[in-house]
Amino acid sequence: MASGDLIVQRPEGLYCPPGDFYIDPWRRVERAVITHAHADHARTGHGHYLATAVSEGLLRARLGAGIAFQGLAYGEVVEHQGVRVSLHPAGHVLGSAQVRVEHGGRVWVASGDYRPTPHGAVPDRTCAPFEPVRCDVFITESTFGLPIYRWRPDAELFGQINRWWAANAQAGRASVLVCYSLGKAQRLLGGVDASIGPIVCHGAVEPINRAYRAAGVALPETLTVSEVTDKAVLRRALVLCPGSALGTPWIRRFGDCADAFASGWMQVRGQRRRGGFDQGFVLSDHADWPGLLSAIGATGAERVIVTHGSVPVLVRYLSEQGLQAEAFDTEYGDEAAEPAPEASPAP
């Protein structure tokens, strides 16, 4: 790394020396700027948390109601030790943000996790859409940083999910859809056709639904298993749950059911087969390969630092395009960290 860099690596995480704060640190620190509420980016034990105001409910639910929290509106600027910090929409989950850091005439942006809206597509209504931020240096994720990863339009994807659910409901089988409890489940709720049947959510999902609704996100009605007394209702239901629920007494309440996994990893057909699912739906809250390249290009950055995912591939490609590209070694995971079947890539 160059002398005087605005963000550097330390054992605790990504550190801003002039501002004396960290971005998504994985060890306990005094001042942490948090991009979003997923567990690999938002951890317990920090002295002070700075994040988007809209993510407060999620962060308090996951980290404890008593955390010292300061919330910012998107685009609002706070200055600390001469460093100007602002948060900008990342399009990943509710409240997700890119961190813009400005000092001494230089601008760096740390992306966290992000998903740009493809050109001409309707933005995900469960979170603020990604906005590119001009900068000198861009720190980007690369969870799906391989050319094979190219997402299909949401209308096509949710059409597939609705047809699968409707066919199962007609056959009297519950449709169990394994997904990440935070972000993925709510995006599914926002996109499926709730007129097909009841929607049952696992106990890990329902508190997140409440936080989304409290933040003003409209979601269809959902039920917990304990609220359903008629087994016939369960046989028509769409069931959203994390992978940890599979093989438990909770899942056995649904009897003979169809199961599927919603993840970007389902782009690779063998992942679905090895996971043993009836169906795989390619749904991700991260940028695909074209999304990564378009987001990086939109920043205007001449220097790009790549973190977690297919780092060497993206670094090599960007270098071939004439950019100064390098890597940060971080402890962030990927979207499969919570619900992945055994065969999915390690977090």
- Which of 146-155, 168-177, 202-211, 338-347 is predicted least confidently? 338-347
- Which of 5-19, 66-80, 188-202, 325-339 is predicted least confidently? 325-339
128-156 mean pLDDT: 96
pLDDT reported for residue 269: 64
Report the predicted TM-score, pTM, of the whole model to 2 decimal places: 0.93
Domains of the chain, each with CATH number or no CATH: 8-149+285-327 (3.60.15.10), 154-281 (3.40.50.10710)
What is the per-residue pLDDT across 53-73, written as a single tens digit (0 to 9) for each?
999 999 999 999 999 999 999
286-314 mean pLDDT: 97
| Spatial contact of 100 and 85, defined as CB atoms under 8 Å apart | yes
SS3 labels along the chain = CCCCCCCEEECCEEEECCCCEEECCCCCCCEEECCCCCCCCCCCCCCEEEEEHHHHHHHHHHHCCCCCEEEECCCCEEEECCEEEEEEECCCCCCCEEEEEEECCEEEEECCCCCCCCCCCCCCCCCCCCCCCCCCEEEEEECCCCCCCCCCCHHHHHHHHHHHHHHHHHCCCEEEEECCCCCHHHHHHHHCCCCCCCEEECCCCHHHHHHHHHCCCCCCCCECHHHCCCHHHHCCCEEEECHHHCCCHHHHCCCCEEEEEECHHHHCHHHHHHHCCCEEECCCCCCCHHHHHHHHHHHCCCEEEEEEECHHHHHHHHHHCCCEEEECCCCCCCCCCCCCCCCCCCC
310-326 mean pLDDT: 97
Question: How crowded is residue 145: how many other Cβ atoms within 10 Å of its Cβ?
Answer: 25
What is the per-residue pLDDT across 146-165, written as a single tens digit (0 to 9) for each?
999 999 999 999 999 999 99
15-32 mean pLDDT: 98
Residue of 289, 329, 285, 328 whose CA lies nearest to 138: 328
Strands 83-89 and 97-103: antiparallel
Rounded Cα distance, 152 and 69, in Å: 37
> If pLDDT is split at 50, 70 and 90, which confidence band does 339 have?
very low
Question: How crowded is residue 105: how many other Cβ atoms within 10 Å of its Cβ?
Answer: 6
Residue of 220, 11, 47 whose CA lies nearest to 126: 220
193-210 mean pLDDT: 96
Q: Average pLDDT of the chain?
A: 92
Is the per-residue pLDDT at 47 higher than 60? yes
How is residue 57 written in tokens? 């409910």
34-43 mean pLDDT: 97
Angle (CA) 75 297 17, round 5° = 55
101-120 mean pLDDT: 94
Alpha-carbon torsion, ordered 293, 294, 297, 303, to 10 deg: -40
> If pLDDT is split at 50, 70 and 90, which confidence band does 278 have?
confident
> If pLDDT is split at 50, 70 and 90, which confidence band does 124 have?
confident
169-182 mean pLDDT: 96
